[in-house]
């Protein structure tokens, strides 16, 4: 018995990693090809998971069912518990102990499986911001020391700064988004106008080219006829004389 207890203490607890959808799918495909016990063990080592998980995915599928996950227990109970804590703080003029809060939580929730563990208590106090609310009540009653008042005021100032930073960041992000939307809208409008202007310009160029080309043709014909007539007045060798004249 002693040896067995020692072995249990010495035995290391193996922590398995959480597999993603793609890894589960890959494991299941390999199991479908070979659903033997040996393959379950091999894949358990390969994917660093338990054979129990592999069998569950093999029999029920690997996709997570809707509505899974831990749900908040009795949101109304959370509100009632917070109100009770703040009311008791005002009556007693001091902070309540964790055991007092735990006992009241178990009474309010009235669930057999609910034990109001330390982890639950830490999360509850943080989410409801109870430390700040309790200190604020004690501050109003003048029950905090000078050091506690100073720390509480510093904490308030830090909260205001963080809130101001968050507000400023939100405004900046909103302004940036609006400017991007405005720039995108203006660019779209400019592109549209430029495209229309380009098409209009192209049409005008085509029309002017047709007109200009026709006039140039008439001018060329008139210039050639008049030049030949004047050149021939030099005599039969007008081309040679013309050539010499250019030199």
- Which of 122 and 207 is assigned the larger pLDDT? 122
**Tokens 């501050």 belong to which residue?**
139
How many angstroms from the chain centroid is the CA of residue 232? 88
Spatial distance between the Cα atoms of 153 and 150, rounded to a whole number of angstroms? 5
Please state the rounded mean pLDDT for residues 80-89: 95
Q: Which two tokens mark 149?
A: 């008042």
The backbone torsions φ and ψ at residue 144, rounded to the nearest 5 degrees and listed phi first, read: -105, 145
Span of 1-15, 51-65, 231-245 with lowest mean pLDDT:
1-15
User: Across the chain, what does the average pLDDT equal?
Assistant: 75
Spatial distance between the Cα atoms of 171 and 34, rounded to a whole number of angstroms? 58
With CA atoms as reference, report the closest residue to 152 among 122, 131, 129, 124. Answer: 131
**Does residue 240 carry a pLDDT above 70?**
no
The rounded percent of the chain whose pLDDT value lies above 90 is: 22
pLDDT of residue 187: 73
pLDDT of residue 14: 53
Number of CB atoms found within 10 A of residue 40's CB: 19
Number of CB atoms found within 10 A of residue 216's CB: 10
With CA atoms as reference, report the closest residue to 98 among 75, 131, 71. Answer: 131
At 228, the pLDDT band (50, 70, 90 cuts) reads low
Degrees (nearest 5) of the Cα angle 9, 13, 15?
170
Spatial distance between the Cα atoms of 156 and 45, rounded to a whole number of angstroms? 52
Span of 28-32, 53-57, 94-98, 180-184 with lowest mean pLDDT:
180-184
12-54 per-position pLDDT tens digit: 445 566 788 888 888 888 888 888 888 889 888 888 888 888 8
Q: Give, as one character, the DSSP assignment of residue 65.
A: P
pLDDT of residue 247: 45
Q: Which two tokens mark 44?
A: 């358990």
pLDDT of residue 10: 45
**Does residue 117 carry a pLDDT above 70?**
yes
């Amino acid at each position: 018995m002693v040896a067995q207890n020692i072995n249990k203490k010495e035995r290391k607890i193996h922590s398995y990693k959480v597999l993603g959808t793609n890894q589960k799918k890959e494991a299941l495909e390999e199991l479908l090809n070979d659903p033997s016990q040996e393959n379950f063990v091999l894949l358990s080592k390969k994917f660093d998971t338990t054979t129990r998980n592999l069998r569950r995915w093999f029999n029920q599928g690997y996709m997570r069912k809707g509505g899974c996950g831990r749900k908040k227990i009795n949101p109304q109970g959370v509100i009632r518990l917070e109100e009770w804590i703040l009311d008791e703080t005002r009556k007693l003029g001091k902070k309540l102990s964790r055991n007092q809060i735990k006992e009241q939580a178990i009474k309010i929730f009235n669930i057999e499986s609910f034990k109001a563990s330390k982890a639950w208590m830490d999360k509850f106090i943080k989410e409801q911001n109870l430390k700040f609310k309790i200190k604020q009540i004690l501050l109003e009653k003048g029950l905090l020391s000078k050091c506690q008042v100073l720390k509480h005021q510093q904490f308030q100032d830090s909260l205001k700064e963080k809130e101001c930073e968050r507000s400023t960041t939100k405004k900046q992000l909103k302004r940036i988004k609006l400017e991007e939307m405005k720039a995108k809208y203006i660019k779209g409008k400019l592109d549209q106008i430029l495209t229309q202007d380009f098409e209009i310009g192209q049409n005008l160029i085509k029309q002017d080219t047709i007109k200009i080309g026709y006039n140039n043709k008439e001018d060329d014909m008139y210039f050639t006829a008049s030049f030949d007539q004047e050149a021939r007045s030099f005599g039969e060798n007008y081309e040679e004389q013309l050539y010499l004249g250019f030199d």
